[in-house]
Chain A
């Protein structure tokens, strides 16, 4: 009997708590993380990386456009959303890379401060 009550309570709570959580920022962040994962993946060949990145870039571009043009996003924006729009270059990587005429990976590395010059400077300081 108690098992039945627990099950029915669980189903009831599940029913009342189900709602569509479709924040475009979350989807964008998920896809961005996947793309960066491909960029940093050492186990795949250059050819394979290029192929996977092309596919991922297209999905990311769609999600970036969906996020930018979403009107509901302005209604009570979360801290996440506010931060995302504050850092356009990092959030909308495909747009930034096209704007700067640079590959997506280079754009990201530069934005987080991983330039060739910076890395060489680190080696100098270690010596």
Chain B
């Protein structure tokens, strides 16, 4: 019995792990920025650009685009149907109105989906910037210029840099004994200093000075988060609008249903026009006529 339980557990555990993985894959329609590490070093304005281009490549962007087209088609259809109304007969009007209500219902559904997707996009963007913000805060704490470790590490770098030339002189006589790292170190150090000088003299470097300092970078990222939050607030208002639109469509549908019922009652009344045979006084003639 115990063996069976153990075997079952061995089957269930990988199975449940597989289900978890499949669930994770099911959310692959979402947008997950793929460039976190690279982006962290970029100035915020470039960061935003790269994030947007990453979004444009995502499946969510494609879905948003498709949804936009669907919504546009729905609106075109509603406008077209509305244009038929003035020249339509009474029964045609009912049918057109019915079609308009159906299209409006679809429009609301699609619009709701679109707003959800937009919200998803904004939330992902917000999460991303918050993560970067957290990283900057974390690193600025660890790389605090006033911390003892930071001072010690900087001193170590300076002392080592001063000794680079002396080390090269001292070890020049036994070059064959030098390691591969040792030989590459000098070449790479020279290349790094050349690149650093090029970065320093680059015209774009002075432009992005504002975003270099952790505090400035944090401020810029805070601004992005603030903008995203305002966009989310606007979306919430749009969602409210959609709920009102849904109410109006429901009321229109009720109105149409009543009109249809009215016509039916009219036609029913027409069938028995003149005399109501459910009343005995009206049926007197039937009985009294010889």
**Given A1-B6, A76-B142, A99 contacting B149 (CB threshold 8 A):** no
Q: Using Cβ atoms and an 8 Å threshold, which residues of chain A touch B179? A: 58-59, 62
9-residue interface stretch from B162-170, B207-215, B278-286: B162-170
When chains A and B are docked, how far (Å) is the Cα of A91 from the Cα of B10?
Answer: 50
**Given A62-B182, A74-B142, A95 contacting B177 (CB threshold 8 A):** no
Interface residues on chain A, number (Cβ under 8 Å):
28
Q: Using Cβ atoms and an 8 Å threshold, which residues of chain B touch A86? A: 148, 152
Contact A82 B149 (CB under 8 A): yes
| A87-103 Cβ-contact flags toward B at 8 Å (1 or 0) | 01000100100110000
Task: Say whether B155 faces chain A, with CB atoms less than 8 Å apart.
Answer: yes
Q: Is the interface of A mostly helix, strand, loop or mixed?
A: helix
Task: Say whether A66 faces chain B, with CB atoms less than 8 Å apart.
Answer: yes
| B145-160 Cβ-contact flags toward A at 8 Å (1 or 0) | 0001110110111011
When chains A and B are docked, how far (Å) is the Cα of A61 from the Cα of B150?
Answer: 22
When chains A and B are docked, how far (Å) is the Cα of A95 from the Cα of B159?
Answer: 8
Contact A99 B142 (CB under 8 A): no
Contact A98 B170 (CB under 8 A): yes
Q: Is the interface of B mostly helix, strand, loop or mixed?
A: helix
Contact A85 B167 (CB under 8 A): no
Distance (Å) between the CB of B164 and the closest chain A CB? 9
When chains A and B are docked, how far (Å) is the Cα of A99 from the Cα of B159?
Answer: 9
Q: Using Cβ atoms and an 8 Å threshold, which residues of chain A touch B185? A: 62, 65
Distance (Å) between the CB of A94 and the closest chain B CB? 8
Contact B177 A88 (CB under 8 A): no
| B1-40 Cβ-contact flags toward A at 8 Å (1 or 0) | 0010010001000000000000000000000000000000
Contact A68 B142 (CB under 8 A): no
Contact B142 A75 (CB under 8 A): yes
Q: Using Cβ atoms and an 8 Å threshold, which residues of chain B touch A43? A: none
> Which B residues between 173 and 195 are near A, CB-CB below 8 angstroms?
174, 177-179, 181-182, 185
> Which B residues between 189 and 228 are near A, CB-CB below 8 angstroms?
none
Q: B: which residues have CB within 8 A of A?
A: 3, 6, 10, 139, 142-143, 148-150, 152-153, 155-157, 159-160, 163, 166-167, 170-171, 174, 177-179, 181-182, 185
List, sorted by A's number, 8 A–B pairs whose CB atoms are closer than 8 Å. Answer: A62-B185, A69-B160, A74-B142, A74-B143, A82-B152, A88-B159, A95-B159, A98-B170
Known: A73-B153, A88-B152. 14 other contacts (CB 8 A): A5-B6, A58-B177, A59-B179, A61-B167, A66-B181, A74-B143, A77-B149, A82-B152, A85-B156, A86-B152, A92-B160, A95-B160, A95-B167, A99-B159
